[in-house]
Structure 1
Amino acid sequence: MKKFTSKAIVTLVAAGLMSSTVFSADFKFKFQSSDPAGVKNFELQQDWADRVEKMSGGRIDIDLLPTGAVVKHTETMDAMKLGILDGHITSTSYFAGKDPAFALLGGTVGAWSDTTQLLQFMNFGGGNELMEELYAPYGVQFIAASTTGLEAFVSKVPLNGVADLKGLKMRAPEGMVQKVFAAAGASPVNLPGSEVFTGLSKGVIDAADYTVFSTNHAQGMHDVAQHPVYPGFHSLPLIDISMSSKKWNKLPEDLREILKVASRDFSYNITNELKMADAVAVSEARANPSITIHDWSAEERMKFRAIAKTEWEKAAKASPSAEKAYKVLIEYMETSGLL
């Protein structure tokens, strides 16, 4: 039988401890994104998961999966409650069916003119507290708020203000977005995102609520719709990072703080990287004499916001949570001079 010296034993024990620290995380979580693999958003979300692992010294290991990998994007909340998923990074408005407040907070159409406005509301204006209350009954712990970028508007015809929306045939997702544009005089139609380019090129629609300027440009939207509105005036989605309350409650305080800090870093990174991508795409578009970028005045943005506010008021009547969210939102916007 081979004999080990005391020094060798100490070395073996130390190596065993080191291997358990390096290779075995204390907490392993499965998160699902609402974005597909391969897009910029998902890449930045993966960076967040990697950063959490590094900041925690390997104690947290997050397996981030693309949309639909385990459940539909609208089912991640239920999947957390059932223990199928541990968390998600997703668009808050997907859960409007659970409570209208999710739609009001997740996609407050016409509310914001810059990503900083939404994030200031969430972090310092009461938004985060609203989300914590809203998620609590479903066994979900809200961690942090983020967003993507202020969506540009794709159009084949010049749009310089609210009056130009009258009778405009435009693609818009169902729900509050369609209701707000209809109230502004447009004629919204249902059309999947995959059919926007074809719809514009064939004249089925003249404009579309689609996504950020850089993505629109990369997909050739401005080749068929040469009058984009930028910066956008209508849509800025709330993205939240949340996880199972049961799993959250088992975490020590230092790891909870790491998740919060890493999530705030992610919010800063994604909004600024997408702004930079938009700036490059805008520069390219301006160099093309066939494309005219329209930037709405502050007055026209206020007009659209006032119209949108009538729909927010209607949504606020749908549930006690929505009513509370509306009151906090309006108080913040009035204090900040946005109304």
Structure 2
Amino acid sequence: MKRRDFLKGAAVTASAVGATTLAAPAIAQGTTEMAIVSTWPRDFPGLGTSAQRAAARIAELSEGRINVTYFAAGEKVGAFDSLDEVAAGNSQAYIGADYYWKGKHPAWAYFTAVPFGLTYAEIDAWMKFGGGKELHEEVAGQFGIHPIQVGNTGVQMGGWFNKEIETADDLKGLKMRIPGLGGDVLAKLGASPVSLPGGQIYENLVSGSIDATEWVGPWNDYFLKFYEAAKYYYYPGMHEPGSQLTMGINADWWGGLSKADQNLITAACMEENAMQMAETNARNGEYLTKLIDEHGVELKQFSDEVYDAFYEAAEEVFDETRQHSELAAKVHDNFVNFRADVGRWMLAAEATYLRQRNRVSGVKL
């Protein structure tokens, strides 16, 4: 799949994909209509294909009782208009990254990823057994949305840069595509964060409108051909250690469904939540090798000095986030307490094991 092929999908009009104007709920002749909008281009490897798979799975499990129409970014509404589209009841659900809505409330960010946050295994545990799900529903409920986990992209790379980042001073004046609270961290260090949907990043990087970008990881980044525009590929990303994706459903429409259909949709989302993470891990190793061996990408690790600066800036951002509202403070405090407990366990178990396993087996970057 070539970058231009799947980006072209973002420009397709709604009429070209058989768009239907739906109300919430819209039930005719025993069939429930469900329009899903997305923040990803059509057929975009990983993110886009995962969203399409989740939509198709709902239709499949319902044996057609739920008639799902899927719209990629730009086919019905723009990527960043998805929340408003669903909250208004014009579509029944969106699939996207909830940190895109942090301008409406900063607590949204915690349910995708925040700097020095949770890995996939950790955020999955938080959501299901640490109070995260209930907090997500409380935040989303203020916007008329019922949220469900629907995917995760794991630990992300630090990003693509046109120059080496040896000290925190090298970040000053840098125009970098980085959304969420991670962008706020970069701003604290003198960079200029820019929020762009996936389909617009490559052109801005090539033209020089931005100097650097983060996206996801080797698999997704390979198909956007960032290696044509930036030489240095940094790891690990402090900003998105386990980026959870969400199906946000219009709360009124959701409330009108039968319990069986609610369970069916939830099951489809939970299945895709695990499926996307497995697929991303499988592909990232393959495409990291391609980037290095076939395209001469220079893999670089952020220094401890840079990471220390990231952390200090992140603490400032978190302080400001807590001050936003009682709800923001409630989400942050729950999150931090859970991070301490689960982080201790992960350090004793997975982190230490992986370091020792790769040492004795000779796996190196």
- Cα 1:115–1:229 change in 2 (3 A) is farther
- Cα 1:263–1:197 change in 2 (3 A) is closer
Moved more, 28-37 or 99-108: 99-108
Moved more, 133-142 or 286-295: 286-295
- Cα 1:36–1:301 change in 2 (3 A) is same
Q: Which residue of 2 aligns with 1:242?
A: 248
Q: Structure 1 unaligned segments of length 5 or more: list them.
A: 1-22
Aligned with 2:297: secondary structure? coil
Q: Which residue of 2 aligns with 1:335?
A: 341
1:151-186 Cα shifts (integer Å, max 9, x gaps):
3211233446x6475537241346633320233x35
For the 8 Å contact 1:108–1:312, the answer to whether it is kept is: no
Q: Which residue of 1 aligns with 2:314?
A: 308
Q: Equivalents in 1 of 2:203, 2:42: separation in Å? A: 24
Q: Equivalents in 1 of 2:335, 2:269: separation in Å? A: 23
Q: Does 1:188 align with 2:192?
A: yes
1:201-237 Cα shifts (integer Å, max 9, x gaps):
6777653333432232333322443321234332354
Q: 1:281-292 to 2 correspondence within 5 Å?
A: 281-288=287-294, 290-292=296-298
- Cα 1:273–1:63 change in 2 (3 A) is same
- In the superposition, the TM-score normalised over structure 2's length comes to 0.73
Find runs of 4+ consecutive structure 1 residues off by over 6 angstroms: 297-300
How far apart are residue 318 of structure 1 and its match? 0.9
Q: Equivalents in 2 of 1:191, 1:71: separation in Å? A: 17
Aligned counterpart in structure 2 of residue 37 of structure 1, from 39, 42, 52: 42
Q: Aligned letter for 1:330?
A: V
Q: Equivalents in 2 of 1:143, 1:191: separation in Å? A: 24
- Cα 1:146–1:129 change in 2 (3 A) is farther
Q: Does 1:118 align with 2:130?
A: no
- Cα 1:91–1:196 change in 2 (3 A) is closer
How far apart are residue 148 of structure 1 and its match? 3.2
Larger Rg: 1
Q: Aligned letter for 1:270?
A: Q
Q: Which residue of 2 aligns with 1:133?
A: 138
Q: Which residue of 2 aligns with 1:226?
A: 231
Identity of aligned residues (%): 20
Q: Which residue of 2 aligns with 1:266?
A: 272
1:228-261 Cα shifts (integer Å, max 9, x gaps):
1234332354321121222222222222112111
For the 8 Å contact 1:91–1:106, the answer to whether it is kept is: yes
For the 8 Å contact 1:170–1:209, the answer to whether it is kept is: no
Aligned counterpart in structure 2 of residue 49 of structure 1, from 49, 55, 70: 55
How far apart are residue 265 of structure 1 and its match? 0.9
How many pairs does the alignment contain? 314
For the 8 Å contact 1:96–1:102, the answer to whether it is kept is: yes
Aligned with 1:264: secondary structure? helix
Q: 1:68-79 to 2 correspondence within 5 Å?
A: 68-79=74-85
How far apart are residue 47 of structure 1 and its match? 1.7
- Cα 1:213–1:233 change in 2 (3 A) is farther
Q: Equivalents in 1 of 2:220, 2:150: separation in Å? A: 22
How far apart are residue 331 of structure 1 and its match? 0.8
Q: Equivalents in 1 of 2:49, 2:218: separation in Å? A: 19
Q: Structure 2 unaligned segments of length 5 or more: list them.
A: 1-27, 348-365
Q: Equivalents in 2 of 1:272, 1:333: separation in Å? A: 23
Q: Which residue of 2 aligns with 1:58?
A: 64
For the 8 Å contact 1:73–1:94, the answer to whether it is kept is: no
Q: Which residue of 1 aligns with 2:163?
A: 157
For the 8 Å contact 1:31–1:62, the answer to whether it is kept is: yes
Q: Equivalents in 1 of 2:173, 2:121: separation in Å? A: 30
1:246-304 Cα shifts (integer Å, max 9, x gaps):
22222222221121111011111122222222211111133258433124589975763
Q: Equivalents in 1 of 2:325, 2:223: separation in Å? A: 40
- Cα 1:312–1:165 change in 2 (3 A) is farther
- In the superposition, the TM-score normalised over structure 1's length comes to 0.78
For the 8 Å contact 1:32–1:88, the answer to whether it is kept is: yes
Moved more, 54-63 or 286-295: 286-295
Q: 1:161-176 to 2 correspondence within 5 Å?
A: 163=168, 165-167=170-172, 169-173=174-178, 176=181
- Cα 1:139–1:300 change in 2 (3 A) is same
